[in-house]
Amino acid sequence: GYSRMVLFPGDHQRSAKDVIKLIKEQERTSDDVVVGSKFHIYSEKYGPIRRRIGNRLFSFLAKKLWGSPIEDVLSGFKIYDIDSVKAMVPFLPDGYPLDIVFSYYSSRMGLKISEIPVECRYSKDTTKMKSVLIVSFKMLYKLVKHALLHPLPQDLRQVSLDQTSDS
């Protein structure tokens, strides 16, 4: 019975008040997916250089490989319109690559996606990842493996696109 689904990372980097920003942006644009982007605040103060490089590299690859419109493709902070994405849920993997596969399928289905700036706090308590580059390539491998083994059926894409145009 819900109309939206929010993915909210549990790493204490995001602020709950930004969920309201995502909701308001989705209401304003009627987009299927709204991404909370941390790229607008990247500086030495807000993020380690290795994370910035890994995030930018993976976002570049996503843009080239599947035409992702998302600048911060590794952002795990998103809001989805349930009616637009519910048909793809059975095709999603468990675990860490879920969000990137969700983003891949959303792009491949032609869903309307926008991105807004949100707060992101980095500290020794919020970031445990030592190498975003290594994690990025592991996620890319898992994404490609999942997409090859579990391709989204063509008719599912059409059904979902028809649903989003009716709303």
Residue type, 98: L
Q: Is 28 exposed, middle or buried (0-12, 13-18, 19+ CB in 10 A)?
A: exposed
Assign 112 a pLDDT band (cuts: 50, 70, 90): very high
Higher pLDDT, 10 or 152: 152
- Sequence length of the chain is 167
Q: What is the pLDDT of residues 47-65, one digit of tens each?
A: 667 667 777 888 888 888 8
Q: What is the pLDDT of residues 55-97, one digit of tens each?
A: 788 888 888 888 888 888 878 789 999 999 888 888 888 777 7
DSSP assignment of 57-112 equals HHHHHHHHHH----SSTT---EEEEHHHHGGGGGGPPSSTTHHHHHHHHHHHTT--
pLDDT, position 41: 63
pLDDT, position 83: 92
How far apart (Å, rounded) are the C-alpha atoms in residues 77 and 58? 16
Assign 45 a pLDDT band (cuts: 50, 70, 90): low
How far apart (Å, rounded) are the C-alpha atoms in residues 155 and 21? 33
Higher pLDDT, 109 or 151: 109
- Measured between its terminal Cα atoms, the distance across the chain in Å is 16
Q: Is 21 exposed, middle or buried (0-12, 13-18, 19+ CB in 10 A)?
A: middle
Write down the pTM of the prediction. Answer: 0.78
